[in-house]
Amino acid sequence: MTKAFQTSGDMIADRRAGYARLLSDNGDHQAAAELMAQALELAPEWAAGWDLLGSFSEKAGDLSGAISAWRHLEALDDDGVFGAALKLSAHGANVAGAGTAVSYVEALFDQYAPRFEMALVGKLGYQVPALLDGMIEQEMARLGIGGFGEALDLGCGTGLMGERLRSKVERLVGVDLSAAMVAEARRKGIYDELEKAELVQFLQRRPPEADLITAADVLIYCGALPPVLQAMVAALRPGGLLVFSLEAHDGEEAVFLRPSLRYAHGVAATGVALADAGLHVRQFETAVLRQDRGAPITGILVVAQKPADAAA
């Protein structure tokens, strides 16, 4: 059972929540919020119910009501599965953390895995694997090579990036925080090794042997960039390539949390972070990554290289 449909333990409360979802699906978010509040009077300890109330209230334009619901949720959800702290931070009611909200991201993609490709590629015009693959091919031509030895595909998901990498690498390793995503990727049989792990911890266990590291639409859930870059660089061979995408913003902030609960990184700050990590930037572009709620999402696409004379 996904996190959004966990039962309250009260049949009447569950029934009211079901009606509230129908109202929200039909665009009557205010009525949905009112009915959800009635359900929570019967089941005040129901974390998933407070999450629904926050969502309905936000869609109804009642931000104070949403924040109140998320504060109740935060108090009930010790593991952070519902991302209450992120939701409060995105609306200025809390201080955003610097790293990945592991429990939230894991739960999000576990429930998203069965429909991930249909939703992302079919409905949202997802372009990142194709864009990054084109940049990798440009680098291969520049370097005069036919492929790579070992590649690490971070946040591999269902294998959309891995499918493009397979013919270019001798050994392909995928890692993802979501067990359900890893299971979907395993079905394709394109990876030589797959692991469920948080990416920084995964990288810290790897020897500096990767010729290529990719992270397609992954760092948008990681917050501060420097710690992740440090871990990536440490896992690369001297001369190895790092290829990744970010969501972009043009402000002075290095990173901020959007209402989508994805992080946007500053264009200028990203350049500084790459230099501080000791990387040589080979390609640095902005492009439309996908659509989100009918609007294009602009991102940064990066190819950077660990210096050939860097210590392994």
Average pLDDT of span 128-147: 94
Q: Which of 75, 32, 89 is nearest to 56 (CA)?
A: 32
Helix extents (H) in the chain:
11-25, 29-42, 47-59, 63-76, 84-90, 102-112, 116-117, 128-143, 160-165, 179-188, 199-204, 225-235, 267-276
pLDDT of residue 10: 86
Task: Tell me how far apart the alpha carbons of residues 218 and 213 are, in angstroms, rounded to a whole number.
Answer: 12
Domain ranges of the chain: 3-95, 116-305
CA atoms within a 13 Å half-sphere pointing along the CA-CB vector of 72: 20
pLDDT of residue 121: 64
Burial of 161 (0-12, 13-18, 19+ CB in 10 A): buried
Beta bridge partners of 174: 153, 194
CA atoms within a 13 Å half-sphere pointing along the CA-CB vector of 299: 26
- Regarding predicted confidence, which is higher, 177 or 148? 148
Provide the residue count of the chain.
312
Average pLDDT of span 227-247: 96
Q: What is the CATH number of domain 3-95?
A: 1.25.40.10
- The helix (run of H) or strand (run of E) holding residue 245 is strand 236-249
Report the relative pairing of strands 210-215 and 236-249 from DSSP bridges: parallel
pLDDT single digits (tens) 191-223:
999 999 999 999 999 999 999 999 999 999 888
pLDDT of residue 95: 61
pLDDT of residue 75: 87
Q: What is the CATH number of domain 116-305?
A: 3.40.50.150
pTM over 0.75: yes
Residue 117: pLDDT over 70? no
Residue 1's pLDDT band (cuts 50, 70, 90): very low
Contact yes or no for 281/121 (Cβ under 8 A): no
Average pLDDT of span 123-149: 90
Backbone angles phi, psi at 259, to 5 degrees: -55, -20
Helix extents (H) in 144-224:
160-165, 179-188, 199-204
Question: Considering only 47-56, 81-90, 172-181, 206-215, which range has the smallest mean pLDDT?
Answer: 81-90
Average pLDDT of span 253-280: 91
Q: Judge if 3-95 and 116-305 fold alike in CATH terms.
A: no
Residue 175 CB coordination number (10 Å) = 24
pLDDT of residue 171: 98
pLDDT single digits (tens) 14-68:
999 999 999 999 999 999 999 989 999 999 989 889 889 989 998 999 988 888 8
